[in-house]
Amino acid sequence: MKESIGKVPGLAVILVGQRRDSLTYVRNKIKACEEAGIKSVVAEFPDSCAEEDIMTSLSKFNEDPSVHGILVQLPLPELEYYLEFYKRTLYVLQMTCKSFLVQHLDEEKILNLVSLEKDVDGFHPINMGNLSMRGREPLFVPCTPKGCLELLLRYGVEIVGKKAVVIGRSNIVGLPIALLLQRHHATVTIVHACTKNPERITCEADIVVTAAGVPSLIRSSWLKPGAVVIDVGTCPVEDPSAEYGYRLVGDVCYEEALSIASAVTPVPGGVGPMTIAMLLCNTLDSAKRLYG
């Protein structure tokens, strides 16, 4: 039986647009908050909203004492514009429609506004900067990288002095995972879309963390026998039989990788639930700090 002390942790989520993977992630985060007794609120905005509307909502959450954690679900949407132009072919005038994407929301400006003390995603540049520097401690570590590290630690995987390869260099996954592994004294290499023959690098790694978003990228030939593989890839593929009409697939050929690796995380059910668990931890830590 839980005893109430009248101090309830609160999480505010900003969701812009209708990306179905973002909708699913936010739905799962809110459900987990309900189960854990964390009060949550979602501020939803359409794709075409003005940056000012998001900034106003963020400022309110920054000031609200019942909110201890704020997250802006990423990526922010881009608007699609259409440009019509005419092309002369075989004396017939043809009209062609070309679309292009415009980033109307400044992600950096928006993330900068999140209060440092409520930045439970750890994406504020000061938190990211502190994560990247030796001897400095960020207030919050980004949830997915923290979840990956927690998996390694809980399963007793040795990290010190091991070769770790991170596939992908995004600000929200690849880069902070590489920084965390380095903090835990692994020798870390990041490979990315421009790396030549990445499999020659991954096949020497004791730990592979992949966040490329490319289904079936990691075959058994990419892996060293006994390697530990963490699959952070989440690519939505159509599946009419799935709950929301699509399912998520990872970067790793799971069965193939299992035949050579010592451990492989599945998608779904591997890193995803860890990300959510770490978000709850960060929100609770923040509430404890802010309540004093």
Looking at the annotation, which residues are catalytic?
Answer: 29, 73, 121
Instruction: Output the smallest distance, CB 27 to ligand GUN, in A.
Output: 13
- With CB atoms as reference, the residue minimizing the distance to ligand GUN is 74
Helices and strands (H and E) in the chain: how many: 9, 12
57/73 with CB nearer ligand GUN? 73
125/225 with CB nearer ligand GUN? 125
19/224 with CB nearer ligand GUN? 19
Instruction: Output the smallest distance, CB 126 to ligand GUN, in A.
Output: 17
Closest CA to 152 of 190, 184, 120, 123: 184
Instruction: Output the smallest distance, CB 285 to ligand GUN, in A.
Output: 16
The pair of structure tokens assigned to 27 is 């739905």
Instruction: Output the smallest distance, CB 119 to ligand GUN, in A.
Output: 10
Number of residues that bind ligand GUN (CB under 6 A): 9
CA R_g for the chain: 21
Using CB under 6 A, which residues numbered 89 to 148 contact ligand GUN? 121, 143-144
Using CB under 6 A, which residues numbered 248 to 267 contact ligand GUN? none
252/271 with CB nearer ligand GUN? 271
Using CB under 6 A, which residues numbered 201 to 220 contact ligand GUN? none
Amino acid at site 111? L
Residue of the chain from 202, 265, 275, 283 that contacts ligand GUN (CB under 6 A): 275
Q: If phi over 0 gives left and psi between -120 and 50 gives alpha, with beta otherwise, what is residue 160?
A: beta
User: For the chain, how many residues are written?
Assistant: 292
Angle ∠(281,1,65) on CA atoms, nearest 5: 45
CB-based burial, 228-252: b 16+ in 10 Å, e otherwise: bbbbbbbbbeeeeeeeeebebbbbb
19/162 with CB nearer ligand GUN? 19
Largest Cα separation within the chain, whole Å, is 81
Binding mask 57-86 for ligand GUN (x = CB under 6 A): --------------xxxx------------
Torsion sign over Cα 24, 25, 29, 35: positive
| 172 touches ligand GUN (CB under 6 A) | yes
Instruction: Output the smallest distance, CB 74 to ligand GUN, in A.
Output: 4
Q: What is d(CA 147, CA 190) in angstroms, rounded to the nearest whole number?
A: 19
Q: What is d(CA 228, CA 205) in angstroms, rounded to the nearest whole number?
A: 9
Q: Which residues bind ligand GUN (CB under 6 A)?
A: 71-74, 121, 143-144, 172, 275
